[in-house]
Amino acid sequence: MIGIFDSGFGGLTVFKEIKRALPKYDYIYLGDSLRSPYGGRTQETIHQFTQQAVDFLFKQGCQLVILACNTASSEALRKLQQEWLPAHHPERRILGVIRPLAEEAIKASRFGRIGVVGTKATVQSKAYEKELKHLKKEVKVYQQSAPLLVPLIEEGWLDKPETRMIIKKYLRPLKDAQIDSLILGCTHYPLLMKEFKRIAGKRVNVLNAPKIVADKLVDYLNRHPEIENKLTRNGQIKYLTTNSPEHFDELGSKFLGSPIKSAKVAL
């Protein structure tokens, strides 16, 4: 089984592409909606919450867990991989969303001027900047936190003029910096892809984050048969939430683009 973890609903945009690319596998999607959003929390708290979620998914039989959450990936992934995993589950794996997007941004960038929009926690962690500069030292990285977008997306304000105005305001410093590529560093943001593309303009390549993560997962499984061979293939999917299943099903179906039936769990 493959586990997909997010602090709430946003990771469903990533999961939608993963299950399209790899439809035969069994999945558990876990959204920690009770404690969402993670974006304004301390690194220690985000690490603790993420570790609890990953441990839960491993106990459910997942061999591989994708942190389909930029905040969890930026604040918890490395420590979990380097310290917790070897001590507790050395035969299993945890992957995030930041490295795949950084690799693709470096490839896509024409002039080495890359913009990142994300939650405050993701931007303050400088996880994208570190990863991008690790891959290519001379790259210029311009970041912008966009805290108002997640609540607007969850309210369904995708086509409202207020949302367009806010995106314009957030992108203005990045456009002034003449970025040529843009990373949407939050899994909610792909729901506003059309607006980001329109406002960023034709000269800016807005990366399709969910598709990139899915393609990189396909590549990872091809390169790691020792993990791939352990994965079950019955095409079964379980959706789990730490909050109201009714609320999760209603909002989650909008992110996934198809109906969801979830169950409540405690971490």
Domain holding 224, by residue range, is 2-96+211-264
- Do 92 and 110 share a structural domain? no
Q: What is the mean pLDDT of residues 106-111?
A: 96
- Do 172 and 127 share a structural domain? yes
Last residue of a domain, one of 166, 182, 209: 209
Q: Which of 65, 139, 179, 186 is catalytic?
A: 186
- Do 188 and 110 share a structural domain? yes
What is the torsion angle, in degrees rounded to the nearest 10, for the CA atoms of residue 163, residue 166, residue 172 and residue 173?
-130
Segment 139-153, tens digit of pLDDT: 999 999 999 999 999
Give me the long-range contacts of 47-51 (CB less than 8 A, separation at least 24). Answer: 47/75, 47/76, 47/79, 47/80, 49/7, 49/267, 50/5, 50/75, 50/76, 50/77, 50/80, 51/76, 51/80, 51/84
165 Cβ contact list (under 8 Å, min separation 6): none
- Do 151 and 246 share a structural domain? no
CATH code for the domain in which residue 148 is found: 3.40.50.1860
For position 183, what pLDDT does the model report?
Answer: 98
Report the chain's mean pLDDT, rounded to a whole number. 95
- Do 217 and 90 share a structural domain? yes
Last residue of a domain, one of 209, 233, 252: 209
Judge residue 223's burial from the number of C-beta atoms within 10 Å of its C-beta, 0-12 exposed, 13-18 middle, 19 or more buried: exposed
Catalytic residue check, 62: no
Segment 175-225, tens digit of pLDDT: 999 999 999 999 999 999 999 999 999 999 999 999 999 999 999 999 999
For position 38, what pLDDT does the model report?
Answer: 86
Q: Name the least confident of 37-46, 92-101, 160-169.
A: 37-46
- Do 74 and 169 share a structural domain? no
- Do 216 and 148 share a structural domain? no
Catalytic residue check, 186: yes
For position 50, what pLDDT does the model report?
Answer: 97
For position 39, what pLDDT does the model report?
Answer: 76
- The C-alpha atoms of residue 70 and residue 6 are separated, in whole angstroms, by 9
Position 120 confidence tier, pLDDT thresholds 50, 70, 90:
confident
Position 267 confidence tier, pLDDT thresholds 50, 70, 90:
very high
pLDDT at 41 over 90: no
Q: Which of 65, 67, 69, 171 is catalytic?
A: 69
Contact between 65 and 94 under an 8 Å Cβ cutoff? The reply is yes
Q: What is the mean pLDDT of residues 37-58?
A: 93
Structural domain count, the chain: 2
Query: What amino acid occupies position 129?
Result: E
Q: Name the least confident of 21-35, 37-51, 173-187.
A: 37-51
- Do 74 and 104 share a structural domain? no
Q: Name the least confident of 2-11, 60-69, 117-126.
A: 117-126
- Do 198 and 143 share a structural domain? yes
- Do 180 and 78 share a structural domain? no
Phi and psi at 144, nearest 5°, equal: -145, 120
Cis peptide before 37 (omega within 30 of 0): yes
- Do 120 and 69 share a structural domain? no
For position 40, what pLDDT does the model report?
Answer: 77
- Do 243 and 181 share a structural domain? no
Residue whose token pair is 């603790």: 48
Count of C-beta atoms within a 10 Å radius of residue 12: 28
